[in-house]
A = this chain, B = another copy of it.
Amino acid sequence: MSHDINAVMQRAQKAARTYRNTSPADIARFLESIAAEIEHLGIDLIHTAMEESNLPEGRLTGERGRTCGQLRLFAKHVLEGSWMDAVIDKAMPDRKPFPRSDIRRMNRPVGPVVVFGASNFPLAFSTAGGDTASALAAGCPVVIKGHPAHPKTSEMVFGAMQKAAADCGLPEGVVQHVSGSEFALGQALVQHPATQGVGFTGSFVGGQALMRYAQERDQPIPVFAEMGSVNPVIFLPDTLAENGDQLAASYAGSITLGVGQFCTNPGLLLAVESPELDHFQQALAAALAEKGLERMLHLGIQENYQKRLKAVLKAKGVTTVHEPVEEVDVLEAPSALATVPADVFLDNPHLHEEIFGPFSLLVRCENIEQLSKVWQAVGGQLTTTIMGTDTDLEQHADLLDIAEQVAGRVIFNGVPTGVEVCDAMIHGGPWPSTTDSRFTSVGTSAIQRWLRPVCYQDCPDALLPNALKEANPLGIWRKVNGEFTK
């Protein structure tokens, strides 16, 4: 290995001693400084990322905005302080039969975190992306394993982070960067005793391997792996009748957005047999055919897409509705649409798996009961979407109950692609879409992954962390003797 992982993790551990007690104001300043330094890299960063990822300039400029916006949102969130979950139960010296001690608790950082950069968001989910921003916000030093698909982009962003750390007077171990594509490197990072948490966005196989490494440790640690999803979309009868063409247009856009390289790509469409479904199916195929060819992130993804697509289109009972273009340039990925009867789908688990790229499989169901069965057969999902008119939703209100159990986010009359970075967002879901459905990797709640509660009993006020001091010097919301107060 090109890196001395032990030295890296020891530096992180040393930095953790300072950084865990760095004030919210100083952490916020650091996050804002990272955002400013990334912007300061200017068009060079965009051009480097374009070269390495094949993504267009507009998309990368937008993604940079999202990355810096995310860092600034976490800066605000750190100061707001509700993430500390400060709870105070004051002493009751006269309580009978026993007095009550003064008991206070708050969330504290877990320690050094390892973040694996994701290939499909070279800025927003890589080096200084959501995992890194949330871990730094929590007070945890971060060791970033740069993604080998965009090494120069990753180094540039890391340079900006290093400069921000130095400017803010933080120890050098607060952010570190290692690169390499060997499996052993990832394993060494996850299994180093100083590592206390892992963030990953990628394949099921990759996430599973990291989880296994983490469980093999003397002290198991949490791995937050976001591993993919087919994001089932339910098209109800009345909306197919009323809005078929419009739905086809918007879903052709969602399926091909970013060459289908989103974990929220709608890979599975479910509907009940009807003439309107026939019409929608044809309209969707036609709309997809009008989309141009675009290049994927790297050869590995493109080859995998082509191989898996071929296998699905040849599977028994599957009918191709929109044929993928055969003549494609290096890295280009043709979109495709296929359909399959529900009973065939239910019998073939291979059809339930994600195909990363601009493809969707339309499952035609005999009735709503069979549709519900298909929906629940595909395992946990990041998102699920219900498309329906008011009439549809009135008639099928009970579908929400299934939706909630299938996915972390339930969307009504929209597309699953596009994940808002906000307080209420949940980008996570039941197994196998993620390793831990109780947490999100997008939105301010992502900070919760890097915290654990500590309880202080009869601690002198001077020794308490500021968040728990009697005078509430941070001015944060706290629950005191059962009442929320500032």
Which of A266-274, A294-302, A405-413 lines the interface with chain B? A405-413
A460 touches B104 (CB 8 A): no
A425 touches B17 (CB 8 A): no
Which of chain B's residues has its CB closest to A428's CB?
B453
Q: How many copies does the complex hold?
A: 2
A98 touches B418 (CB 8 A): yes
Which of A1-9, A361-369, A437-445 lines the interface with chain B? A437-445
A451 is contacted by which of B88, B108, B380, B438 (Cβ under 8 Å)?
A: B438
A82 is contacted by which of B404, B422, B479 (Cβ under 8 Å)?
A: B479
A477 touches B482 (CB 8 A): no
Interface string of A455-474 (1 = CB under 8 A from B): 11111100100000000000
Which of chain B's residues has its CB closest to A100's CB?
B420
A426 touches B453 (CB 8 A): yes
B219 touches A87 (CB 8 A): no
B100 touches A424 (CB 8 A): no
Among A100, A220, A436, A455, the one with the most B-chain Cβ atoms within 10 Å of its Cβ is A455
A458 touches B21 (CB 8 A): no
Residue A188 at the chain B interface, CB threshold 8 Å: no
Interface residue tally of chain A, by bracket?
35 or more
Given contacts A103-B420, A219-B432, is CB(A455)–CB(B484) below 8 Å? no
B105 touches A401 (CB 8 A): no
A379 to B405, CA, bound (A): 37
Cβ–Cβ < 8 Å partners of A379 in chain B: 219
A17 touches B455 (CB 8 A): no
Residue A314 at the chain B interface, CB threshold 8 Å: no
A440 touches B453 (CB 8 A): yes
CB distance from A109 to the nearest CB of B (A): 10
Which of chain B's residues has its CB closest to A65's CB?
B97
Cβ–Cβ < 8 Å partners of A88 in chain B: 424
Residue A41 at the chain B interface, CB threshold 8 Å: no
Residue A454 at the chain B interface, CB threshold 8 Å: yes
A448 to B338, CA, bound (A): 42
A484 touches B479 (CB 8 A): no
Cβ–Cβ < 8 Å partners of A320 in chain B: none
A454 is contacted by which of B97, B222, B426, B463 (Cβ under 8 Å)?
A: B426
Residue A213 at the chain B interface, CB threshold 8 Å: no
B17 touches A401 (CB 8 A): yes
**Cβ < 8 Å to B, chain A residues 40-90:** 62, 80, 82, 87-89
Cβ–Cβ < 8 Å partners of A393 in chain B: 460, 463
B411 touches A426 (CB 8 A): no
CB distance from A90 to the nearest CB of B (A): 9
A397 to B464, CA, bound (A): 10
A409 is contacted by which of B82, B455, B484 (Cβ under 8 Å)?
A: B455
**A-B CB contact pairs (8 Å), 14 listed:** A21-B401, A87-B423, A89-B422, A101-B420, A103-B424, A220-B435, A400-B459, A407-B454, A408-B452, A410-B457, A411-B458, A412-B457, A414-B457, A440-B453
Q: Which residues of A contact B (CB under 8 A)?
A: 17, 20-21, 62, 80, 82, 87-89, 97-98, 100-101, 103-105, 108, 110-111, 215, 219-220, 222, 379-380, 390, 393, 397, 400-401, 404-405, 407-414, 418, 420, 422-426, 428, 430-432, 435-438, 440, 445, 451-460, 463, 477, 479, 482, 484
